[in-house]
A = this chain, B = another copy of it.
Amino acid sequence: MMAQENDASLPVSSLGIAGAGLIGASIAARAAEAMPGVVLKVFDRSYQNAAHVAGMWSNATVAESLDELKPCDLVFVATPVGAIAETVTALLADEDRRLVVVDTGSVKGSVVEMVKAGSAGHARFVPGHPLAGSHLSGPQAASPELVEGRVFVLTPTGETAPDALALARATLDVLGARVVVTDPTAHDELLALTSHLPHVVAYALMAGLDAREPDEARDRLIAGSFRAQTVFAASDPEMWADILIANADAVERAARDFNGEVERFVRFARAGDKQAIMKRIALIRDMRKAIGD
C-alpha cells in the first residue's frame, strides 16, 4: 500500500504501540486501514514481534527503545497487565510533553493508582480496555476486527486531562471502536464478574476433569458444550496471572458469592428440594434471557 500524506482531518499524525501482542498488533492492523497516513512506531521487548507488526504497513517502523515512542501524539500501551504501570510511567516521565497514553489492560484500578503514584504526567494517561477477548495470543492472531465495531472502555479519573480524554476518544472513533466511559472501580467489579472469575471457572472445571483417568469412554463422553465452557482454560498463563493479581480484591468478592451460589444448589440437590431448585433456575433463566444472545 502507498503511504498517504499526513491527513490534517485526523486527530493524530503519529501513533505508538508499546507491546506488540494480540491487542497491540490488532490496533496497528486497524490503524493501517483507518488512518494510513499516520506514522506508526512499534516497540516490544521482543524485536521479532515488533518487526512483525511494523511489517504490516509501509508507514510503520520498529522502535529500538520505549523512549523513541515519546514524540508520538498518542501511544497505546498493550503490554501484559503486570508491565503496564511501569511502561506508562516511563512514557509520561517528561511533564512538558503533549503525549497522550492509552493502555489496554483488563484491570484498571490498580494500574491507575500506580501511575498516579509514579508519574508527574499522569493527567495525560487515559486508562482503557478493549473488549477484544480471545484465548489466542501473539501478533500472528491479530485482526482489525478485534478493534472495529468492538467496545473500547475508557475509565478516566477526576485527574485525567479533558483534552487527553478527547484525543483518545477521537482516535478510537476513527478506528471504529465503540467507546464506553465508566469509572475504574465499576469497570473492575464488572469485569471480575464477566471475565476474570469466568476464566478461573474454566480453569477449575478443566482441572476437575483431569483428575479422572483418561480413557476412550471419557473422551467420547465430553460434550461440545464442555469444550465451549472451558475454551478460556487454554488462555495465556502470564496474561491471566497478571490480571488475577491486579484485580484480586474484586475477584475474591465475586468468587465468594459464586461459590456460595454453587453450594446453595448442591444443598438443595442433597435435600431433594425440587421446588427450590426450579424456582432458582427459573429466576436465573429470566436474568440470562434479559442479557440476550
Contacts and interface: CB of A to CB of B under 8 A. Distances in A.
Interface in A183-198: 186-187, 189-191, 193-195, 197-198
9 contacts: A131-B221, A178-B220, A204-B262, A207-B261, A208-B261, A227-B293, A245-B274, A245-B277, A255-B266
A251 B278 contact: no
Interface residues of A, number: 94
Contacts of A4: none
A202 interface: yes
Nearest to A243: B269
Given A244-B277, A252-B270, A266-B252, A258 B208 contact: yes
A210 B231 CA distance: 24
Nearest to A220: B180
A203 B284 contact: yes
Interface string A21-36: 0000000000000000
A180 B221 contact: yes
A241 B285 CA distance: 13
A106 to B, nearest CB: 10
Contact of A189 (B151, B195, B212, B282): B212
B82 A274 contact: yes
Number of identical monomers bound together in the oligomeric complex:
2
Q: Which 9 A-B pairs have the closest CB atoms?
A: A204-B261, A241-B277, A233-B288, A237-B281, A248-B269, A244-B269, A237-B278, A194-B226, A210-B287
A238 B241 CA distance: 39
A289 B233 CA distance: 9
Given A190-B221, A201-B205, A245-B277, 20 more contacts: A131-B221, A133-B223, A153-B221, A180-B220, A182-B217, A182-B221, A190-B218, A193-B205, A197-B205, A198-B226, A200-B265, A200-B266, A201-B262, A206-B284, A207-B284, A210-B284, A233-B285, A238-B274, A252-B269, A259-B263
Contacts of A201: 201, 205, 229, 262
A222 B194 CA distance: 6
B227 A198 contact: no
A278 B20 CA distance: 21
Contacts of A279: 237
